[in-house]
Amino acid sequence: MRIIHLIGTLARESGGTAHACLDMAQATAERGHEVAIFATDYGGGLGSPPPAGVELREFPVGWPTAWRTSLGLIQALWREIDRFDVMHVHSLYLFHTWVGGDSARFFGLPYTISPHGSLDPYIWRRSRLRKAATELVFQRRVLANAAAIHYTSAVERDISAPVAGPAPARVVPLGIDLAAYDALPGPAPFHAAFPITRGRRLVLFMGRLHEKKGLDLLVDGFAAAHRVHPDLHLVVAGPDDGAGEPAKRQLARLGLTEHATFTGMLLGEAKFSALSAASMFVLPSHSENFGIVVAEAMAAGLPTVVSDKVNIHNEIGGRGAIVVPCQAEAVGEAMLKLAGDPAEARRIGVQARETVRTLYAWTAVAERLEALYRDVAR
């Protein structure tokens, strides 16, 4: 098959959507398919070579840049759309969603569209007036005309159903390259970069520092756990998307500034070393359509705490992850449980890795993604 992915940007700082697009493209290319990604250079673009076997085209972004507008992208798409058998559109409410969906329908190219959490009620209600306008202009039509709407969990599918429209729903999770977690670099590089973390038990958060991620719950929960276990140290890793400074002020009010480290975004060995150094991973998000970082932490063998708004919680709860409501007290209690019983925490960590191996290894997930494309391809 010949598959084209359409996405607004592959900039790493943009979050999990870029990561997911790249991984899907790589997984299907490795299965012998011809795969291309058309994106804009918003935010600097990918900034590194694409995965082997994947053609990457990044086009200049134009005004209004926040909408990821690109005349070059649409011109190239119209010139080359006949090359492909199926299109995969990533995200909603953006320029490429509109031109991708309408162009595919005009040229007779079937497409699947991944909302990446955009139809979750928590996200769908935000900026409602702006979104309602785009729904009226194109978004409802693009969703309705899709050959399939791709969700990464059954929960995402179910909570999206009231606003998703009539297109068929298909659930295919994201995947993990387990080989990358079989030989982690160890904690030494992370401790060398952040010496204050040496000799501490690290509570790791990793992801965009956005208000939806529940950083306020994380800090309050950490404060409760730290009172009982003063050797705990909070590590907040990720690019600031508006919630970083409020979290730092909250830590200062609680007298915990010296017991927390903000690392910025970690990539490559730095990320893997942070996972090696951590004692547990915590993500108390208010909305998370999949949470690839959760699967990454579990693949690294970390006992994991997630909220019941992380949409894979049904699959991982009790299988390497403790699922809690979006309440600071519950988050703190889960941290206390792991910190107070290291042997149990290690057992949960071993279970976490096995869960990811069973559910989210790309070797199995790629077959399901390939089947989705075959079902809708022309």
Summarised one tens digit per residue, pLDDT across range 136-159 is 999 999 999 999 999 999 999 999
CA distance 21 to 10: 8
* Topology (CATH) of 178-359: Rossmann fold (3.40.50)
**Mean residue pLDDT across the chain:** 96
Residue-range domain boundaries for the chain: 2-175+362-376, 178-359
Q: What pLDDT score does 363 carry? A: 86
Please, which contacts does 42-50 make with residues 24 or more away whose CB atoms are closer than 8 Å? 42/8, 42/9, 42/11, 42/14, 42/68, 43/9, 43/11, 43/13, 43/14, 44/11, 45/9, 45/10, 45/11, 46/10, 46/11, 46/12, 46/18, 46/22, 47/11, 47/12, 50/22, 50/25
Same fold, 2-175+362-376 and 178-359: yes
Question: Do residues 200 and 222 make contact, with C-beta atoms less than 8 angstroms apart?
Answer: no
The pLDDT-based confidence of 5 (bands split at 50, 70, 90) is very high
pLDDT in tens, 252-288: 999 999 999 999 999 999 999 999 999 999 999 999 9
Q: Which pLDDT score is estimated for 364? A: 86
pLDDT at 44: 94
Summarised one tens digit per residue, pLDDT across range 293-343 is 999 999 999 999 999 999 999 999 999 999 999 999 999 999 999 999 999
Q: What CATH number labels 2-175+362-376?
A: 3.40.50.2000
How far is CA 169 from each of CA 7, 26, 143, 147, 149, rounded to the nearest angstrom?
20, 23, 11, 9, 5
pLDDT digits (tens, 9 = 90+) for 150-183: 999 999 999 999 999 999 999 999 999 998 898 8
Residue 213's pLDDT is what? Answer: 97
| pLDDT at residue 12, rounded to an integer | 86
pLDDT tens sequence across 83-142: 999 999 999 999 999 999 999 999 999 999 999 999 999 999 999 999 999 999 999 999
What pLDDT was estimated at residue 116?
A: 96
